[in-house]
């Protein structure tokens, strides 16, 4: 049996058929809990995906976002749409996808961030991602809005040559439709 193939590509390099396949994969992997806004959030950056002869096995993407912390704006790599096909979990496929995304984050951004589900949190923690201990907010339509439900599930990761923001205070993310984080 051959090793499943890991590929990376920017959204603009993916054909409409490839994007349709990724979207269908994510709809299945998230059991109907992957919205049009979730899909939009994962576009416009680098996709990492693993496939074999039977199709997609795992996917994730990293997109650029802006975060403000203590008056400074950071350009960060935000990880989105990470999923592994249910029958292929615990085989290291998610780790392969994350390694490819972390390489992009390390090379292009001040730090990485993501919002983890309870099921996904062990993968990220095991790779050195840390829960942000401070507050989480968004620059909303009517000013800054705190997001207490995101506190405890927002993870950050340092990049080579960049210091993380001081582990206190509030991370204020840019606004987007749907789930902000």
Give the span between the Cα atoms of 13 and 133, in whole angstroms. Answer: 37
Greater confidence, 21 or 160? 21
pLDDT above 70 covers what percent of the chain?
99
CA distances (Å), origin 179, targets 40, 158, 174: 11, 24, 12
Digit-coded pLDDT (tens) for 35-75 = 999 999 999 999 999 999 889 999 999 999 999 999 999 99
Distance between the two ends of the chain, CA-based, in angstroms? 38
Question: What pLDDT sits at residue 1?
Answer: 57
Digit-coded pLDDT (tens) for 113-155 = 999 999 999 999 999 999 999 999 999 888 999 999 999 999 9
Domains and CATH numbers, the chain: 5-173 (3.40.630.30)
CA Rg, the chain, in Å? 16
DSSP symbols for 106-154: HHH-SEEEEE--TTTHHHHHHTT-EE--SEEEEEETTEEEE-GGGTTTE
Question: What sections of the chain are H helices per DSSP?
Answer: 16-29, 36-41, 93-108, 121-126
Question: What pLDDT sits at residue 54?
Answer: 85
CA distances (Å), origin 100, targets 95, 103, 139, 173, 177: 9, 5, 29, 24, 27
């Amino acid at each position: 049996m051959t090793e499943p193939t890991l590929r990376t590509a920017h959204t603009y390099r993916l054909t409409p058929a490839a994007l349709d396949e990724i979207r269908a994969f994510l709809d299945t992997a998230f059991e109907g809990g992957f919205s049009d806004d979730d899909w939009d959030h994962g576009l416009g950056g680098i996709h990492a995906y693993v496939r074999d002869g039977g199709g997609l096995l795992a996917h994730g993407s990293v997109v650029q976002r802006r975060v403000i912390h203590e008056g400074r704006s950071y350009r960060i790599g935000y990880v989105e749409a990470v999923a592994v096909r249910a029958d292929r979990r615990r085989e290291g496929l998610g780790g392969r996808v994350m390694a490819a995304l972390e390489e992009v984050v390390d090379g292009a951004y001040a730090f990485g961030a993501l919002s983890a589900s309870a099921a996904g949190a062990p993968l990220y923690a095991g790779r050195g991602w840390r829960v942000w201990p401070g507050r989480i907010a968004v620059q909303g339509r009517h000013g800054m809005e705190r997001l207490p439900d995101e506190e405890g599930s927002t993870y950050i990761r340092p990049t080579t040559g960049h210091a993380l923001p001081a582990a206190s205070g509030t991370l204020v993310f840019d606004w987007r439709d749907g789930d902000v984080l």
